[in-house]
Amino acid sequence: LRGSSVLQQTPAYIKAQTNKMAMLSCEAKISLSNMRIYWLRQRQAPSSDSHHEFLALWDSTKGTVHGEEVEQEKIAVFRDASRFILNLTSVKPEDSGIYFCMIIGSPELTFGKGTQLSVVDFLPTTAQPTKKSTPKKRVCRLPRPATQKGPLCSPITLGLLVAGVLVLLVSLGVAIHLYCRRRRARLRFIKHLRLHPLEKRSRLDY
């Protein structure tokens, strides 16, 4: 019985990356207290000439029982309630195929619908939806006046400024002193001229 609803396999199709792990699930819809779950692999598309390769089975007392030509370290079967998980580690491209779970009845064989496994070197990346970029409003800003940091003048500049001020003060003092002396001399000369005619007149009177 192929594709029976008694055994439900998920997912129907799975991709795995080389050297990674793949997990296939088979859920039994009937009581399997004393029954065995077999996992088989079909490397090519199902046809009259295709055959199934026995990988492993799960037994309630023995646990995982492997097939004869199977790498035991790569394959394990374990039970989770009514689900029977086939765990494949370090998968290779040659591990690609359709995996079936199966139970043996009397007299029929019941298969699940199968899970197709494809082993690839690189998994396709899902394209992220592009977000529409909203144009930003341009804000005109006036340039800020440049602020000068640190001391405005160096010590040398300050010294030169002080020296210049002192020179100006000294020059101004000298100029004022000379001006005062010249004025005094002028006043004395004028006074002398005024007094000289009076002396002559006084002499004539005598």
Q: Which two tokens stand for residue 96?
A: 């690609």
Q: Tell whether 103 is covered by a domain.
A: yes
Shared domain for 180 and 99, answered yes or no, is no
End of a domain among 97, 120, 143? 120
């001391």: which residue's tokens? Answer: 151
**Both structure tokens of 196:** 């000289």
pTM of the model: 0.56
- Do 20 and 106 sit in the same domain of this protein? yes
Burial of 58: CB neighbours in 10 Å, binned 0-12, 13-18, 19+: buried
Name the residue among 66, 65, 80 with its Cα closest to residue 26: 80
Q: Could you tell me if 16 and 112 lie in one domain?
A: yes
**Same domain for 107 and 12:** yes
pLDDT in tens, 53-95: 999 998 888 888 999 888 889 999 988 888 899 999 999 999 9
Rounded CA separation 43/117 (Å): 10
* Sign, Cα dihedral of 105, 59, 117, 73: negative
How many domains in the chain? 2
Q: Are residues 26 and 76 both part of a single domain?
A: yes
Question: Is there a single domain that holds both residue 17 and residue 113?
Answer: yes
Domain that includes residue 15, residue range: 7-120
Terminal-residue alpha carbon distance, the chain: 177
The model's pLDDT over 114-152, given as tens digits with 9 standing for 90+, comes to: 999 999 998 887 555 556 666 666 665 666 655 555 555
* DSSP state at residue 19: T
Q: Among 100, 16, 121, 10, which residue's Cα sits nearest to residue 52? A: 100
Whether 57 maps to a domain, the answer reads yes
Query: Domain check: are 17 and 81 in the same one?
Result: yes
**The domain spanning residue 100 has which CATH number?**
2.60.40.10
Please write the tens of the pLDDT for every residue from 174-200: 889 888 888 888 888 888 777 765 555
* Same-domain pairing of 68 and 169: no
83 and 171 part of one domain: no
% pLDDT > 90, the chain: 30
Q: Are residues 99 and 167 in the same domain?
A: no
